[in-house]
Chains A and B, each alone.
Chain A
Amino acid sequence: METPADMIEVKKVAKSFRGRLVLNQLDLKVHKGETLVVIGRSGCGKSVLLKHIIGILKPDQGEILVEGVNVAALSSKQLNQLRLRFGMLFQGSALFDSMTVGENVGFNLIEHTTLSERAIHERIEESLELVGLKGIQELKPSELSGGMKKRVGLARAICMRPEILLYDEPTTGLDPIMADAINELIVELHDKLKVTSIAVTHDMISAYKVASRIAMMYQGKIIQAGTPDQIRNASNPIVQQFITGSASGPMTDIQVKSLEETEGGSKS
């Protein structure tokens, strides 16, 4: 079997916010056509990683290559060209609440193409159908439920038929049934649109369901990556603690220790 080409390569990327190191020499490869799920605790920098890949944030060190092109070195015009090949679903859907659902989904088509109004309308309808929604074009985002917002967000992400889809916590905040529906959509879209996908989540059910590979992020680094089975059987105690969802283990022990240390530090 030949090794699949790398679509995205994250090389030794470091990023800190106000002195707090969030990404620490992080390395990650994403193969063309796979669905990579990045797992890790809340606030460990998973979303920050996604925002680096699509160029919203720039790394302090290291580089991010999309098909060999360094994202941080692009001019803003080139970056926007590249972004049209991406689709991103945000955690809170991030729909524009001043616009209708239709305008949200068709945003890129209206802004960046010269398609006729009818063609745009058809494309919007098609994208909404792909996520299982119909006849809600004229509604405002505030009239939708959380699950529907996620779907509309997804429809907006796929409207330009991107090559790469990024999902930021696609199932967080949804009931289990809706979460499963979103998982199925991710798998379905992957098969139908032949996209390369990266999802970040702390929902292991979702991770196992959609991933072709899973990477575990901890303290700003990828500590292990592999197929879902490899991750399930990983010997690394940190990975084991996370995937089994145990409150005690090496991840949580360290936090308690450092708290004791700071307490001691403040007394002396």
Chain B
Amino acid sequence: MKPSLEKLGHTAVNAVVYAGGVSTLFMQTLFWVAAPPFRARQVLDQMIKTGVNSAPISTLTSFFIGVVIAFQSAYQMQKVGGEMYIPSLVSISVTREIGPLLTALVVAGRVGASIAAELGSMKVTEQIDALETLATHPVKYLVAPRFIALFTMLPLLTIYADCVGILGGYVVSVYKLGLTSSLYIRMTFEPLVLKDIFTGLFKTLVFASIICMVSCYEGMKVEGGAEGVGSATTKAVVTSIILIIASDAFFTVIFYFVT
């Protein structure tokens, strides 16, 4: 009995310590983001790495999800003769939910892992210590540019994913289900209000912060060589995914009642 209770206690303490560590890093990052000088070159590098290079995989996943949603809703809608509402279903579910969530998960896997592995390797080869001896704060030099890049690129990537998802629905509806092109476009935008897009994008900003902070935190506290880097990378991705989905649920509930 006692050992398991003790274990539970340890887990709780570790969770609090973890949350504290990530929050501290977040505060430091906000401070260094605001502090001059602005590192345009590094931010641009990171934007390309995190945003532009994620576009191909984002294209594929969003397109297929658009296709899937169109087919799945056709399965039900055809029974009641409501095919003309398929475009609306696609556009609402993609902009409010699937676009932001799927993009964040893809970026967590792709970019989060790479950030944790890169910073982790820098930690074990003493490059992060070296930065400090060269009078440069590691958060300022390594975390802040990545944060700015993710914070700006994830929303852009999400907007792009929304469009591609809707295109996926379009292809299915027009070429397979027999809807006309003009009807699809009209029914996509008719129910869509700005609020749908904005709530989706707001969540994206939270997701971007989660991915960046968790991955950087995991990377910067790596100990014990290659093994440590490996486990930090796994932890960064797993923790990011859990937190993304949990915060998604949280904000969906909030938006349901508030707006």
Contacts and interface: CB of A to CB of B under 8 A. Distances in A.
Candidate in A54, A107, A156 with the most chain B CB atoms within 10 angstroms = A107
B120 to A, nearest CB: 13
Nearest to A55: B132
Interface of A: 51, 54-56, 76, 80-81, 83-84, 86-88, 90-92, 94-97, 107-108, 111-112, 156, 166
Q: Which of A55, A92, A166 has the most CB of B within 10 A?
A: A92
Nearest to B129: A56
B129 A108 contact: no
Contacts of A56: 129, 132-133
B125 A54 contact: no
- Say which size band chain B's interface belongs to: 10 to 19
B135 interface: yes
A76 B137 contact: yes
Given A56-B132, A94-B127, A96-B131, 13 more contacts: A55-B132, A56-B133, A83-B135, A90-B126, A90-B129, A92-B126, A94-B125, A95-B130, A96-B130, A97-B125, A111-B135, A111-B136, A156-B134
Given A90-B126, A94-B126, A54 B133 contact: yes
Contacts of A112: 135
Contact of B134 (A91, A92, A107, A166): A107
Nearest to B131: A96
A88 B135 contact: no
A88 B127 contact: no
A156 to B, nearest CB: 8
Contacts of B136: 80, 107, 111
A96 B131 CA distance: 9
Nearest to A90: B126
21 contacts: A54-B133, A55-B132, A56-B132, A80-B135, A83-B135, A84-B135, A90-B126, A90-B129, A90-B130, A91-B126, A92-B125, A92-B126, A94-B126, A95-B127, A95-B130, A96-B131, A97-B125, A107-B136, A111-B134, A111-B135, A166-B133
